[in-house]
Amino acid sequence: MDFARLKEIDLSTASELLGKVYAGNLGMLSRYGIVLEKGDNLGAEDFTQVEGDMLRTAYLDGGLLMTESGSLPILAGSCLGGGTTINWTTSFALREPTRHEWDRRSGLSLFAGHRFTESLARVMRRSDVNTQNSVPGVRDQLLERGLKACGWHVDVIPRNATGCVHGLECGYCGYGCRHNAKNGMTKTYLADAVAAGARIVVRCEVQRVLTEAGRATGVSGRVRTADGRTVRLTVRSRTVVAACGAIHTPALLRRSGLTNPYIGRGLRLHPVSAVAGYFTERVEPWSGDLQTRHSEQFANQDDWYGAKFETGPVHWALPASAFGWESPAQHAADIRRLGHLSVCGILLRDRHPGRVVTGRDGRPRVQYELSRYDAKHLRAAMLGAAQVLAAAGAKEIMTLQQPPVRVTPGADGWLDDFARRVDACGIDRCRMALISFHQMASCAMGADPRRSVVGETGESHDVRGLFVADASAFVTSSGVNPMITIMAIADHVARGIAERA
């Protein structure tokens, strides 16, 4: 398929044609599958790779969503294809220990079983996950150099990308790939669905799941048309699949009248931070393939709770929002040498949850703070990240605390001094720059309706015909970038629906 937009329904025309019949609502029988997308249908010309443009266009709430305390920003895709359009293509399957943990916690026999293994394998094939396109830029070369010098684990990251144009523009794929190298949903499963007759409606905010006699019968919502009008929308269907993400799926269920007390509970966010290093050599951290090397050296601190090391592109938003403030002169100096900075990113597998609370206005609110247990793992990973950067040749190391801890590695006792100053500054609420790229587990799968929201098939315990097929169905945090696991759950749910049809 070429990079042209997927065909969508033109509601500005259809609503006028059908309005007399449906009294201002657009009603559609579910003869074909219908995909309702809150965001827009973006094409190559929309991927400007300018941070402000793309955050506003392709991210949930313009990239400004935060926890209620303001301690943790939340980034999530909000466009056709969702996170697969703007993520960093990192494609890990769920770890075997985590699969067994999920079965133990949920009372299911799904995740460690053959059926879920098949779903994972099918998704990897359809997404063409490979390592041939994981060419390390300078950031990842430095990460690999430091890890090897420490004698620690390092490996290649598999990615759902083919035909990457390696170089400057690859660092901007978090704002959409202009070269059509990402094998995201618009290029794979959504394209398959459209070819099979499915219809797509974009700029559609679903407000409620419609039910009759305890069974889902469709959804209602509103659509912002291309000409700026708002059109009411009703879709009638025997099956409704909620895939609004771990922030908005619980809000949709609450707005629809579901009262299960576990809706919104169990939220995990994979808090992410980093330790930065300044190098003599030029890094240009905004360029190069997004992520190509990783380490699990600190991932198994306690029964596979801990932190992964990965790099990530550094654009101007990171120093603007995450660098601790010391003075105008220091900030200017840091910006002037940004081309020599690299980061050792820390992705934390959080054990202790937050929650999504739905307000009277129907909007979700995120309540989450880093627990002491998880902060202990973050601290250990920060000390490890400093050692990696030092081993890679960093001349100065800096934390993303407020104010930042800065050390010059190599002197006697430098790591002990670093640890002491990190502890003195603190990594609790608003003392440490954290961000969430992955939101999970707010409508968890489980066998017991008193302790979960959906069952093994993904169907709601409370409403027949209503399924959840996104990261909110996770049992806990995944501990790895969750895209492949999300898609495998969707594959599992879809296969079950088709088999029972």
Quick: pLDDT tens for 375-419.
Answer: 999 999 999 999 999 999 999 999 999 999 999 999 899 999 999
Q: Which residues contact 238 (CB under 8 A, 6 or more apart)?
A: 30, 216, 217, 465
Indicate whether 23 pLDDT > 80: no
- Specify whether the CB–CB gap between 123 and 487 falls below 8 A: yes
Domain 11-130+178-256+441-500 annotated CATH 3.50.50.60: yes
Indicate whether 337 pLDDT > 90: yes
Average pLDDT over residues 308-325: 91
User: Can you say whether the dihedral through the CA atoms of 53, 57, 59, 62 is positive or negative?
Assistant: positive
User: Can you say whether the dihedral through the CA atoms of 62, 67, 68, 69 is positive or negative?
Assistant: negative
Rounded (5°) CA angle 302-304-310? 115
Q: Which residues contact 197 (CB under 8 A, 6 or more apart)?
A: 32, 33
- Specify whether the CB–CB gap between 267 and 246 falls below 8 A: yes
SS3 53: helix
Domain 138-174+267-436 annotated CATH 3.40.1000: no
Q: What is the pLDDT of residue 11?
A: 57
Cα–Cα distance measured from residue 133 to residue 155, given in angstroms and rounded to the nearest whole number: 14
Quick: pLDDT tens for 65-105.
Answer: 999 999 999 999 999 999 999 999 999 999 999 999 999 99
Average pLDDT over residues 189-211: 93
Peptide bond between residue 403 and the one before it cis (omega within 30 degrees of 0) = yes
HEC string of 177-233 equals CCCCCECCCCCCHHHHHHHCCCEEECCEEEEEEEEECCEEEEEEEEEECCCCCEEEE
Structure tokens at 121: 């394998």
Count of CB atoms within 10 A of residue 398's CB? Answer: 22
Beta strands at 271-278 and 341-348: parallel, antiparallel or unpaired: antiparallel
Q: What is the pLDDT of residue 15?
A: 43
Cα–Cα distance measured from residue 473 to residue 456, given in angstroms and rounded to the nearest whole number: 10
For the chain, domain boundaries: 11-130+178-256+441-500, 138-174+267-436
Cα–Cα distance measured from residue 460 to residue 476, given in angstroms and rounded to the nearest whole number: 18
Q: What is the pLDDT of residue 3?
A: 41
Q: Which residues contact 497 (CB under 8 A, 6 or more apart)?
A: 239, 241, 457, 467
Quick: pLDDT tens for 241-285.
Answer: 999 999 999 999 999 999 999 999 999 999 999 999 999 999 999
Q: Which residues contact 204 (CB under 8 A, 6 or more apart)?
A: 36, 37, 38, 221, 222, 223, 233
Q: What is the pLDDT of residue 165?
A: 79
Q: What is the pLDDT of residue 350?
A: 98
Indicate whether 301 pLDDT > 80: yes
Kindly indicate the confidence band of residue 32, based on its pLDDT and cuts at 50, 70 and 90: low
Indicate whether 461 pLDDT > 90: yes
Cα–Cα distance measured from residue 315 to residue 172, given in angstroms and rounded to the nearest whole number: 9
Structure tokens at 332: 């200017």
Q: What is the pLDDT of residue 9?
A: 64
Kindly indicate the confidence band of residue 18, based on its pLDDT and cuts at 50, 70 and 90: very low
Average pLDDT over residues 477-484: 98
**Listed residue (363, 244, 344, 360) closest to 298, CA to CA:** 344
Work out the mean pLDDT of the chain and round it to a whole number: 92
Place of tokens 């790939």: 177
Q: What is the pLDDT of residue 17?
A: 28
Cα–Cα distance measured from residue 267 to residue 249, given in angstroms and rounded to the nearest whole number: 12
Average pLDDT over residues 45-53: 91
SS3 63: helix
Kindly indicate the confidence band of residue 311, based on its pLDDT and cuts at 50, 70 and 90: very high
Beta bridge partners of 445: 454
Average pLDDT over residues 6-15: 57
Structure tokens at 7: 């065909």
Average pLDDT over residues 132-138: 94
Indicate whether 2 pLDDT > 50: no
Count of CB atoms within 10 A of residue 94's CB? Answer: 22
For the chain, the first-to-last Cα distance in angstroms comes to 29
Q: Number of helices (H) and strands (E), helices first, in the chain?
A: 13, 19
Q: What is the pLDDT of residue 5?
A: 64
pTM over the 0.85 mark: yes
